[in-house]
Amino acid sequence: MNPAGKERNPLRPVPGIRKRPPGMERVPLAPVQMQMWFLDQLAPGSPAYHIVRGLRLTGELDADLLARSVADVVRRHEILRTAYIYADGAPWQVVMPDPDGLLEFEDLSGLPAGEVEDVIQARAVAAALRPFDFTSGRLARFCLFKRDAAAHVLVVTMHHICVDGVSVPVVFGEIAEFYQAHRAGKPARLPEVAVQFADCVLWQLERMRTEAFRRHLAYWEKQLADLPLLELPTDRPRPPAPTYRGGRATLDLPPEVVSGVRALADDAGVTLLIVLVAAFAATMHRYTGQDEIVVGTATTGRNAPALAGVVGCFINTLVLRIDTSGDPSFAELIRRTRDVVFGAWEHREVPFESVVAVVAPERERSRNPLYQVWIQLVDGASADIDLPVDGILAEDYEIAMAITPLDLSLNVIDRGAGLAFRVEFAADLFDRSRVERLLGHLERVLRAVAADAGVRVSGLPLLGEEELELVSRVWQGADAVQPGGPVHGQIGVRAAADPGAVAGGA
């Protein structure tokens, strides 16, 4: 996705990516892979970067054909059978021979009908959390659970070191293509993989040695100097080390709000993402009182159409530093956000890990470096995972667990007529009720700015009617007299009336 808009930053061809020479048995890690490898060394087996997807499959499924199809896809994409070894003072990635027994199958059809769902959920969660051995070359796990002759659940867990969000539908789509081909007794209709992810890594590392790359890096060093920490109110103290236990909260924006937000983006001449980032930053400002809001977002890192079908971890994180100072109008905040997003997009080739190294923030094990909250706009077509096989209905199967390395991650799924908010949050810090209220506040902010982009950030409504009733009537009592004027004025009046009183005292 292009967060800045295609008009200003058109896709450019990526020259120079070529197959590595025969006999090159090991390849260095990409910067993003290096970071995940280091994290695994610090906390072996941590599920923080497990990507988990489940599908409920209804119809006549041949488990043996599915197993063959999974093996075909793993054979086709080297990164799915790559091991990570340490040799000569550095980690390397090495492609392993085709592994056997990739599809784990469990027949649960003999269980009592009332127990099957609970057992599948337990097995699915266990499969999702099971540690990966980085040296094994098996960082993709496929588990098939049979409910009965016409009902199965497929749970796929892949480590982020070998795939990203774009790769996941590629893997599922190719499994379906091989399955259809095997069932028909014909070859799969898939184009040859021109380059493997390891070839792209060599190209990226070569680019990082250029003068142009150094100029891009200098931008980030200046842009993110003295970066503030976002101090969100939490329900519990931050633990010394993260457990990555997560929770989930969801909200679907009403159609009238969606159309208003889209119209606002069109009127401002910006992308939908820029409006969403501005609204998110405004909400975070109201929560924290901080004038600089730092959020992370993503670029796919696939700057050429030829890379669309390559499986691997291309994703790169962009750090957005949004200035909310001076109580700007929302229209002005959109302009500020646009400039920040355009700047980040123009310098997107620098891996996040290189940015962290040059900015050199004070590291805390309990916090993600540089940013703690995340927002991403996801195309609905890429968010929905399918197994398009004739005669089989594939539906999303939700697994009752969440893992997140961040305080708060907001994914906005764009389905055309609708926008779906999906939040993952650190359960160590937040209760679900707090995050659900935050989503409600963000919806009210979007509703307000869609109606009037001239409203100032301080005037954006957060509380709904129930929350206003709770604050003004229930907590303070029905007979409480509400003082008028701004808070700082009320403090001045109280201080003048009783100058000897202790602040906060009765």
Confidence of residue 503 (pLDDT cuts 50, 70, 90): low
Tokens of 85: 């070894």
- The mean per-residue pLDDT over the stretch 407-435 comes to 95
Other beta carbons less than 10 A from residue 12's beta carbon? 8
- In this prediction, residue 506 carries a pLDDT of 41
pLDDT tens digits, 31-44:
999 999 999 998 89
Please report which residue ranges of 254-364 form alpha helices under DSSP H.
Answer: 255-268, 272-288, 330-346, 352-359
- The mean per-residue pLDDT over the stretch 84-90 comes to 96
- The mean per-residue pLDDT over the stretch 113-128 comes to 93
DSSP annotation string for 298-312 = EE----SGGGTT--S
Q: What are phi and psi of 129, to 5 degrees?
A: -90, -15
Q: What are phi and psi of 250, to 5 degrees?
A: -135, 155
- In this prediction, residue 5 carries a pLDDT of 46
- The mean per-residue pLDDT over the stretch 424-448 comes to 97
**If you average pLDDT over every residue of the chain, what do you get?**
90
Number of helical (H) and strand (E) elements in the chain, helices listed first: 14, 14
Q: Three-class SS of residue 90?
A: strand
DSSP annotation string for 136-178 = TT--EEEEEEEEETTEEEEEEEEETTT--TTHHHHHHHHHHHH
Q: Judge whether residue 146 has pLDDT over 90.
A: yes
Residues in the chain: 506
Percentage of the chain surpassing pLDDT 90? 76
- In this prediction, residue 7 carries a pLDDT of 34
Query: In this structure, what is the dihedral angle of CA atoms 222, 270, 383, 317, given to the nearest 10 degrees?
Result: 0
Confidence of residue 10 (pLDDT cuts 50, 70, 90): very low
- In this prediction, residue 505 carries a pLDDT of 45
- The mean per-residue pLDDT over the stretch 297-302 comes to 91
E-assigned strand segments in 82-149: 82-87, 90-95, 103-107, 140-148
Rounded to whole angstroms, the Cα distance separating 442 from 281 reads 10
Confidence of residue 143 (pLDDT cuts 50, 70, 90): very high
Rounded to whole angstroms, the Cα distance separating 225 from 218 reads 11
- The mean per-residue pLDDT over the stretch 418-433 comes to 96
Percentage of the chain surpassing pLDDT 70? 89
Q: Decide which of 286 and 4 is more confident.
A: 286
Tokens of 7: 């008009």
Q: Judge whether residue 134 has pLDDT over 60.
A: yes
Confidence of residue 182 (pLDDT cuts 50, 70, 90): very high
Q: Cβ neighbours of residue 59 under 8 Å, at least 6 residues apart? A: 150, 389, 391, 392, 393
DSSP annotation string for 280-291 = HHHHHHHHH--S
- In this prediction, residue 485 carries a pLDDT of 57
Q: Are the CB atoms for 173 and 309 separated by under 8 Å?
A: no
- In this prediction, residue 18 carries a pLDDT of 81
DSSP annotation string for 15-78 = TT--PPPTT--EEEPPHHHHHHHHHHHHSTT--TTEEEEEEEEES---HHHHHHHHHHHHHH-G
The angle, 0 to 180 degrees and rounded to 10, between the axes of the packed helices 272-288 and 330-346 is 110
